[in-house]
Amino acid sequence: MTVELVLDVRNIVGESIIWSVSEQALYWVDIVGGAIHRLDPQSGGHTSWETPELPTSIGLRGRGGFIVGLRRRVVLWYPGGPFETFAVPEPDLPRNRLNEGVVAPDGAFWVGTMQDNIAADGSPQPITAHCGAIYRIAPDGAVTRLTGADFGITNTMVWTDDFGFITADTLRNALYRYDYDDGLQTLTNRQPFGPELRLGLPDGSTRDAAGKVYNARVAGGAAIALLGADGTPEASIAMPCSSPTSCTFGGADFRTLYVTSARFGMGDAELAKTPQEGGLWSIRMAGAGRPSFEFAG
């Protein structure tokens, strides 16, 4: 299995990568770099747009354009246009910020929060509290909190075929599975999703058509962990970067796994040895993935 560097983009924190079927292109954010990126893998055409606040996540919108998580608010956006505020999940918690955000099978945008670990100058600052939660942003903008406010860093959002929900707390090195009741809009029965992995820490994930979960392992994990539908570790894909952050399937046949990465907090000496940190990577897979869901608002 060959891992290729698709774009030596050197993102500070590349994240939230998605594949647009209509454009046959990738979109993702650089959180600390303050930009949204687009790449056409066939032509190599690369475009980026600055954001008014740190971007933390991005999702496709069914009527065109995107839903985007910024530092404190969720916005609607068309490339080149304004960032229009749609929802503010935690207006009363100014020390928190948004983190992972993914469009769910129900057409809503689910987004997690965490204590803000990025200083005003873009440098890391310590996390001193587990105070993040997961929210559902409905197509009409209504905000529902789905979990308690006890996450250190919210990460990973994938849904099983029976609408179970898999997520992660990066600080606790834990993946969880919840039962989701769509009618009541509640998450219950939190259980560990597989054993604790001693391979860095969990970041973003995707699922393939067979229900297997691919989890990016940051903080020196340098791998994508492949987990069975029940969370059983099956394999790991070694990456040429220390902190892979997010992954998605794309390409015309959905058999290419694209992976973002980060160089946040790395020193000059480390980056001199591995300057490709923060790059965009691809891996050809035997199995196919699934298209991203689209926001219904």
In the block, residue with structure tokens 């959905």: 254
**What whole-number distance in Å separates Cα of residue 205 and Cα of residue 15?**
11
Which is it for the CA torsion 205, 209, 211, 214, positive or negative? negative
- Beta carbons within 10 angstroms of residue 279's beta carbon: 24
Q: Which uninterrupted H or E stretch holds 113?
A: strand 109-115
CA proximity to 65, closest of 50, 84, 78: 78
In the block, residue with structure tokens 């505020």: 85
**What whole-number distance in Å separates Cα of residue 249 and Cα of residue 86?**
28
Query: Which listed residue (116, 169, 203, 208) is catalytic?
Result: 203
Class of residue 280 by CB neighbours under 10 A (exposed 0-12, middle 13-18, buried 19+): buried
The yes-or-no answer on residue 253 being catalytic is no
Class of residue 149 by CB neighbours under 10 A (exposed 0-12, middle 13-18, buried 19+): middle
Confirm if 167 and 175 have CB atoms less than 8 A apart: yes
Residue 273 three-state SS: helix
Which residues have a catalytic role annotated?
203
